[in-house]
Structure 1
Amino acid sequence: MSTRVNPIAERSKKWLCDAMLEFLQEKPYSSITITEICDKAGLVRKTFYRHFTSKESVLVAIIDLMFEEFYEYIKVQNFGPHEMPLVYFNHWKKHKDFLNILIQNQLFALLNDQYVHYLEVMDHLVGTRREYQNEIEKEYMRTMMAGGLWSILKKWIIRGCIETPEKMAKMTLDFFDV
C-alpha cells in the first residue's frame, strides 16, 4: 500500500521549517513563538498543528530532512564502512551553522535522540563485523554508537570544525576500531 504525499501539505510543512530556520538565525529558540513562525510562513496556527505538535517537533523535522538527504546519498553510492565516517563528517560540515544554533540553544540533544533510529534505518547499509546474540544487544550497540557519533560531532562543531573531515573520519575509525 503506497502512501500519497499531498504537495500542498508538504509545501506548508517546508514553509514552517524554513520560517523556524530564519528565526533561529535572528534570535534564541526560547524567544520564538508559534504565532511568529506561522506569520512568517504565511500560514494559520491550525496548519502548524496539522503538521507539528510543538516548536521542538519542527526542529526534529528539520533534522530528519538532513538525515534523509544523507541517507539518500549513501544509499546510491554503496559506501563501505571505512568510507562512511568521511561522508558523515562532510555531510554535517555542510550543516554546521544549524548544528551551532542547536548547541547555542541547548537543543543539540534532539539530534542524539534521532540517531538510534537513523542507525536502525541504515543498518543494512552500514553493517557490522560482529553478530549480535539478540535484538536487545543490537539496540544497545546502536545506542552506544549513536552517543559516540553525537558526542564527537558536537565537540568538532564546538571547536569550529578545525580538523578536516578526513582527520575526523580517521579518528572515528580508530575509536571504533574498524
Structure 2
Amino acid sequence: MKQDKRDRRSQRTRHLITTAMLELVFEQHYETITVQDILDRAGIGRSTFYTHFFDKEDVLSSIAEQMLEMFRQQLSQRKEGGTIVPVLEMFEHVQQHEQYFRAMSRGHTGEVFWEAAQIALSKTIEQALSTVYAENASPAISWAVIAQYLTGSLLTLLKWWLKAEMPYSPEQMEKIFQQLALPGVWATVGAENTSP
C-alpha cells in the first residue's frame, strides 16, 4: 500500500516537472531555461527535482519519450497488414500536435528530441522489417542500416514539412516518401512493390 502511494506521488511529481518544462519550452528557448525556472514553475524543491531527474536534458528526454510512447500506442492500434514504416501516421501525429512539435524543434531541444525519435523509431522499423521479411534472413544490407535509412529519411522529411508550414497533406507526404525512399529498399530486400 505504501509503495502505491509513493508511486503515485512520484508520477505526480514527474508530471509536474515535465509539464513545467513543456510550458517553459513553449515560452522561451531551451538554452535559456534553468533548473531553477523548472523548480519555480513546478512548485517543487531542488532535492525533489534531483530525485527524479539528473538535469534539464533528462527532463527533455523524458518528454520526448512520452510523446513517442503516445505515438507507439497509436501504432499498436493500427489494423493488421499496415505498412512497416508508419509514414501517414507520423505525419498525422505531427499535424495533430503541431504546436508541441514546433516548440520541441527549436534549438538544442530539437536535437535532443529528434535524436530520441531516431533511436525509438529505427528500433521499431528494424523489428518490423526483420519480422515481415523473415525469409530473407540476410539482405544485401543489414536491417539495422535499412531501418536507419528509412527513419532518417522520414524524420528529415517531417522536419522540413513542419518548417515549411505543412504545404502538403499527410496523405501527400506519405506518397512523396514512398516515391523517394522505398524503391531502393524494395530492391535491397528483394520485394516487389510492397509497402514497408
TM-score, normalised by the number of residues in structure 2: 0.77
Deviation of 1:132 (Å): 5.0
Equivalents in 1 of 2:154, 2:109: separation in Å?
A: 16
Q: What amino acid sits opposite 1:36 in the alignment? A: D
Q: What amino acid sits opposite 2:54 in the alignment? A: T
What's 2:159 paired with?
154
For the pair shown, the structure with the greater C-alpha radius of gyration is 2
What's 1:119 paired with?
122
Q: What amino acid sits opposite 1:154 in the alignment? A: K
What's 2:23 paired with?
22
Alignment of 1:69 with 2:63, yes or no, is no
Q: What amino acid sits opposite 1:51 in the alignment? A: H
What's 2:96 paired with?
94
8 Å contact kept, 1:25–1:101? yes
Q: What amino acid sits opposite 1:90 in the alignment? A: E
What's 2:46 paired with?
45
* Structure 1: 5+ residue stretches without partners: none
Q: Deviations over 1:63-120 (max 9, x none)?
A: 1111111111111223511783111110111222222223332432223322233331
How has the CA–CA distance of structure 1 residues 125 and 69 changed in structure 2, closer, same or farther, with 3 Å as cutoff? farther
Equivalents in 2 of 1:109, 1:30: separation in Å?
A: 12
What's 1:78 paired with?
79
The structure 1 segments of at least 4 consecutive aligned residues displaced by more than 6 Å after TM superposition are none
Structure 1, 17-26 or 116-125: larger mean CA deviation: 116-125
Percent of aligned positions that are identical: 24
Equivalent residue pairs, number? 174
Deviation of 1:122 (Å): 5.4
What's 2:187 paired with?
none
Equivalents in 1 of 2:108, 2:35: separation in Å?
A: 19
TM-score, normalised by the number of residues in structure 1: 0.84
